Structure formats: structure tokens, C-alpha cells
């Protein structure tokens, strides 16, 4: 699936959609496809503090268990509860219904360390 132009991307295959002081984060379609059918996700707690490029959760697919690396720092204000029972949303709609968490950004300057869609497409080519 094409990587949306309005998102920023990390080398660890997470995406960020910035909306004012908050951001929504998730894993890319490329990541979901590489992982295969995802069967479980360990979500962060609301109120948890994330650090950029540090682990904040775990996804388990039929192939492997992998860490999730947060693309930004900040406090978790909401998590996608639907993923607990239907982790397949990560495979079906990674950039939409498969969003993972919403974060109150602590440092918007961090976004400069992320890639745009074109650079991420090169990264995964």
C-alpha cells in the first residue's frame, strides 16, 4: 500500500500523524506485511511516557514477536482498544483503523529526525 504523504516515518517502520500538539502513531503497511498475520499486540498504558526510538509495546505475528519503537516522545492519551480483540486491523488498515496510540508530543522538533513518504519509500525499496 502507498505510504500517505501527510505522515512522517521512522526507520523502525512506525508512522506519525501530527494534529496540533498531539500525534497518532502506528506501524506501516510495509511492517504489517513483513510481519505477516498479527495475532496479538501489547499496547502501552494511557498516561505512559514514551521516548523517541525506545520500545513501547510488542506485536506478535504468526512469524515472530517484535518490539514496537515509538517514533516520538510524549505522553499516551489514548490507545486503540479495538486492537486488543481484533489485531488483524493492523494488517487490514495499518494507516487507518490499525492506529496504535495517540500521544501528547513533548518535543515537536523530534519530527525532523523522521522521514517523509518519499524517503521512507526509498528506505523500504
**Footprint (CB under 8 A) of other proteins, residues 47-76:** 60-64, 66
Question: Using the rule CB under 8 A, which residue among 1, 6, 21, 37 binds other proteins?
Answer: 37
- The reply on whether position 12 binds other proteins by CB under 8 A is no
What separation in angstroms does the CA of 33 have from each of 13, 25, 77, 78? Answer: 11, 17, 27, 25
Options 18-26, 32-40, 94-102, 112-120: segment touching other proteins (CB under 8 A): 32-40
- Dihedral, 79, 80, 84, 90 alpha carbons, nearest 10: -130
- Minimum CB separation of residue 59 from other proteins in Å reads 12
Footprint (CB under 8 A) of other proteins, residues 83-112: 87-88
We find the least distance from the C-beta atom of residue 81 to other proteins, in angstroms, to be: 16
DSSP 23-79: EEEEE-HHHHHHH-SEEEEEPPPTTPEE-TTSEEEEEEESS-EEEEE-SS-EEEEEE
**Residue 40 makes contact with other proteins by CB under 8 A:** yes
Nearer to other proteins, 39 or 118 (CB): 39
Is 22 or 55 the residue whose CB approaches other proteins more closely? 55
Give yes or no for a contact between 37 and 61, defined as CB atoms under 8 angstroms apart: yes
Amino acid at each position: 500500500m502507498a505510504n500517505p504523504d501527510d505522515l512522517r516515518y521512522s526507520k523502525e517502520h512506525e508512522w506519525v500523524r501530527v494534529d496540533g500538539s498531539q500525534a497518532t502513531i502506528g506501524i506501516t503497511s510495509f511492517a504489517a506485511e513483513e510481519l505477516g498475520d498479527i495475532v496479538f499486540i501489547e499496547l502501552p498504558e494511557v498516561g505512559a511516557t514514551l521516548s523517541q526510538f525506545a520500545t513501547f509495546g510488542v506485536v506478535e505475528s504468526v512469524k515472530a514477536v517484535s518490539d514496537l519503537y515509538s517514533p516520538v516522545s510524549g505522553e499516551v492519551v489514548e490507545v486503540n482498544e479495538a486492537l486488543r480483540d481484533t489485531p488483524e486491523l493492523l494488517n487490514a488498515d495499518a494507516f487507518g483503523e490499525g492506529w496504535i496510540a495517540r500521544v501528547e508530543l513533548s518535543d515537536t522538533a523530534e519530527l525532523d529526525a523522521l522521514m517523509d513518504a518519499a524517503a521512507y519509500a526509498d528506505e523500504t525499496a
